[in-house]
Structure formats: structure tokens, C-alpha cells
Amino acid sequence: MRVMDEEKLNKVLRCIREHQETGKAPNYRQIQKECRIASLSSVSLYVNELKKRGLIETETQGGWKQIRTPSYFRASETHNTFVVGDVHCGPPTDAVECIEACVALPNEIFGDAEHVILHAKGPSMINRGIFDGDLLIVRRTPYAEYGQTVIAMIDNCEATCKVYEKGRSGPYLRAANDVEVNGKRKYDVHPKGEWSIYGVVDYVIHAPVSDEF
């Protein structure tokens, strides 16, 4: 019995999806060339296996077999979102908006609200699963509930990522780490002047972990 090469199978699936993003499905010869598969019969083997697993669909149009991923694997609607720079998770720092890229977020996952994407900097939110270098998907809103992770603006010029909390003297911005200085959690922020909520962190995309030691 022939053992299926799972790595090659995933490569074929990626090839099909990448072609589909351009609006055109690949044919067997394109898959053979791009995935470096020895023969068309082997391509057919991989395509049939992907079809059996429900990862692709095939149909014949005009005498040609068309390959595509099922509609439930494709985002029917997306909204454009800008990557706009860094936000520090420690003390508030100057908020400088610098558009780095524009990406399309699928509405099925992220909803259709206005978002921005920020690079998290610093270790003060690690107990919320936010690490240095992670991407934060931030829903733009001036409102938040206590306990939510937010991006806050201090004096309209500095920004920080914190947990929105209610204290004895009113709302404040809590860090999510175990570092203490003189019995107080380091990097908590109790704003004295004007401050506002820039947005709520809905999702975190973790940065790749380096293998270097």
C-alpha cells in the first residue's frame, strides 16, 4: 500500500489555494511543475486524496477539470485593515501612526467592524498572552468593558496596551505581569490628566518563536 506524503499533499493544497486567490484554478501540469511532482498520475493521486478529505472540489467545464477549494473554506467578504505601527505594553510612549501595510481580514472571523493592526512591544501583558512582537487586531471604539484588553491614549499623544480596570478611585489601566516594585505591579497606569480608549484588542496573532539560543 502506498503511503501518502503529507508534506507534499499540503504543498499541493497550498498551490491550489494560491492560484485560486488570483481567480484561476491550476491545472494538473501547473501543479506538477510548481510542486515538483514526478508524474501527472501522482498529481491525480494527491488531488483525489484532497477531494476525499473534503479540502477541494472538482468539476468539469468545457472538457477541462476545474479544481477549487470549497466555498466554506473561502472568505465571502473581507474588510481592509491597516498595520499602523507599534504600541508599547509598558509605560505610555509617543503614539506615531505609520501605515506599513494593508491586509484583508475575513468577516467570518473578525466581523465587519473597523480594525487596525499594531505590533506589541514589551513584556508587561504576558499574562494576557501578549508577547513582544505579537500582532494585535484592535477594534476601533471609544468604549470598553472592565476586564477587556484595550489600547489607551494618554493626553492624546501617548499610547499603551493595558487591561481596563475599575479601582477604588476610578478606572485605571492594569498591566498583566507579575513584576512588582515596592509592592506595586510595575507598569500599571493611573492617568492623572486626559485619557481615552482608542480600541479594544479582539485578537492576538503570535509572532514566530526563534530557535536561536
Q: Which residues are catalytic?
A: 124, 162
| Residues 6+ positions from 191 with CB-CB distance below 8 Å | 152, 154, 172, 173
- Phi and psi torsions of 108, nearest 5°: -60, -30
For 202, left (φ over 0), alpha (ψ -120 to 50), or beta?
alpha
Q: How far apart are CA 213 and CA 34, in angstroms?
A: 35
Q: Which three cell numbers stand for residue 127?
A: 499574562
